[in-house]
Structure 1
């Protein structure tokens, strides 16, 4: 289900102070990167991903593929940073970026 504009706005506000957890390099989406991405999304629900790729078109393609393979939604993309959201099946209040104050 796509995020509404109001929900995206709230997630952007929450994600403003976050630091990137996952970094995607020129090699693209390797198995290790996807495992770490899925683990981070399950733990935190809302994460920032840094893409160390200079070509803008390649970055857009990587973000689209990243969201598709992780079944997550893109909240915001600024430069080389993407803010990504996926609701956890069993959110952990100690780890989730959405449940912490």
Structure 2
């Protein structure tokens, strides 16, 4: 189907302002993951670099991290020790688990 034909069936509506809190996990679930993985330094909102891609921790899925990469709209499931570096608010490395070509 040509795009011009497809557009006849598309209707866009603004449903309101997106609530950023919907991207984040619950604090209690995140703390449980922190204890299990010994990641007491990590927090939701912390900047990370995973395999060369910059993002922000927005929560967890079971014992892994949910990271929202810069420029993306979907969060991604990331292992907390695979090719990841954690940064504080000043941009200093807190922990670095990168071993490959992305190592800091």
In the superposition, the TM-score normalised over structure 1's length comes to 0.24
Whose radius of gyration is greater, 1 or 2? 2
Question: Normalized per residue, which structure has more strand?
Answer: 2
Question: Normalized per residue, which structure has more helix?
Answer: 1
